[in-house]
Homo-oligomer: A and B are copies of this chain.
């Protein structure tokens, strides 16, 4: 498995924030988790509110939890909420099931990490995560 390095993680964050600036979005927080769900790097822009780290992390963690971008989790939450409730419970309350948590896949399709972004609309958050992962040369999987 390719390892998601700190250098690549910072490339993802920088590119995601550049996308946010290009789209004139509100202040964002970007969190990159490794394949085991542990924080590799994070940046919260000035003006982004208090719990944005936890929200961004929760999107990325949810994606890793089920091996699908958090957009898929969002759909699950709408169609069978009891699944998300159970998933949240067994995760110890670490999941936020709305779009913006995107898997990072290497060239062979293996999951090597996940990116979570929050601060603007969930759709815009997701677009920035995809842009960041693309820029780092990996394949985004938004669900």
- The reply on A3 being an interface residue by CB < 8 A is yes
- Interface residues in A, total, Cβ within 8 A: 57
A67 and B119 alpha carbons, distance in the complex (Å): 9
Interface string of A54-94 (1 = CB under 8 A from B): 11011000101111100000100110111111111111111
Q: Which listed residue, B1, B41, B45, touches A6 by the CB 8 Å rule? A: B45
B94 touches A90 (CB 8 A): yes
A50 touches B77 (CB 8 A): no
A78 touches B86 (CB 8 A): no
A86 touches B88 (CB 8 A): yes
Given contacts A6-B44, A10-B43, A43-B6, contact A89 B94 (CB under 8 A): yes
Q: Which 6 A-B pairs have the closest CB atoms?
A: A36-B36, A49-B67, A77-B82, A86-B96, A89-B93, A51-B65
Residues of A near any B CB (own CB < 8 A): 1, 3, 5-6, 9-10, 34-46, 48-51, 53-55, 57-58, 62, 64-68, 74, 77-78, 80-98, 111
